Amino acid sequence: MDSSSDRSLASRVRRWTGSLIDMAAIVLVVAAAKTAIAEPYYVPSGSMEPTLQIGDELLATKYPYGYSSASLPAFVTLPDTRRILGALPRRGDIVVFRWPGNRSQVWVKRVVGLPGDRIAMRHGRLWINGAPVGLVADGTGQSEAADGSREPVHRFIETLPGNRRHLIFKHAGIEPLDNMPEIVVPPRRLFVMGDNRDNSADSRIPVALGGAGLLPVSDLVGRVDALVGSWDLAAMRQPIWEWPSGLRFSRFFTAVR
């Protein structure tokens, strides 16, 4: 092989090496941003309706609560670690977390109880520290199932201590999770609930039975501040050329509270 061929081969190797380095750098930057700043997640269930809908794409901001192994990108699953730069959520924050039963799963719920709080459910109403939370009827809504079917439910405005207000869904009558004896939230734990109160495997249900249980603070991923997009899965029942009609443009880049 002559020297010109050697130079050509060396030049191609350098270009390939440079491209690989550039790609690796991009991957590292994206992974670092998803670990330290924010990461998008898809909402597959109606447990947080009406606040979050099936098909929403939310953005979880990671720095408000500090960092642990739970903060790594969703595809990375490592054992639990202590948090650094840690801070507790506020009551009313919507949080993304690793499910304690399987840390490869990422769930979303609303924080209603902090360490030391006394939490109870009485006839479908949430009680915090011996007092019922504010609850005002706000008409009716439509609760959506994963198959796209809907059923009417009552809608309420719930007000947590600190005057944090949000909408919830509630069926009429007494449901299995409507009553719970008062418990005290232990240190480094949180009590989380879904806004769709009769369709949420939350802190009212132990992890062993498929619920969130009393959530370890170390499993927090981040706080939900905004939606980046949304698509109604019911559109999949239509011909493929009509799927774009499922885009919920009114929910794109909107704040969540």
Give residue-wise pLDDT tens across range 105-124: 999 999 999 999 999 999 99
109 is catalytic: yes
Taken as a whole, the chain contains a residue count of 257
Whether residues 198 and 245 fall in one domain: yes
The structural domain count of the chain equals 2
The predicted structure's pLDDT at residue 14? 54
pTM: 0.82
Whether residues 111 and 215 fall in one domain: yes
Domain containing 211 — which CATH number?
Answer: 2.10.109.10
Whether residues 48 and 12 fall in one domain: no
Whether residues 48 and 25 fall in one domain: no
170 is catalytic: no
Whether residues 20 and 142 fall in one domain: no
Which of the following is catalytic: 109, 143, 200, 230?
A: 109
Whether residues 18 and 93 fall in one domain: no
The parent domain of residue 202 ranges over 38-255
The predicted structure's pLDDT at residue 26? 35
As a whole number, mean pLDDT of residues 139-166 equals 89
**pLDDT, tens digit, 9 for 90 and up, residues 198-255:** 999 999 999 999 999 999 999 999 999 999 888 887 777 777 777 777 788 889 889 8
Which of the following is catalytic: 47, 68, 200, 230?
A: 47
- CB neighbourhood size of 245 (10 A): 11
Whether residues 23 and 80 fall in one domain: no
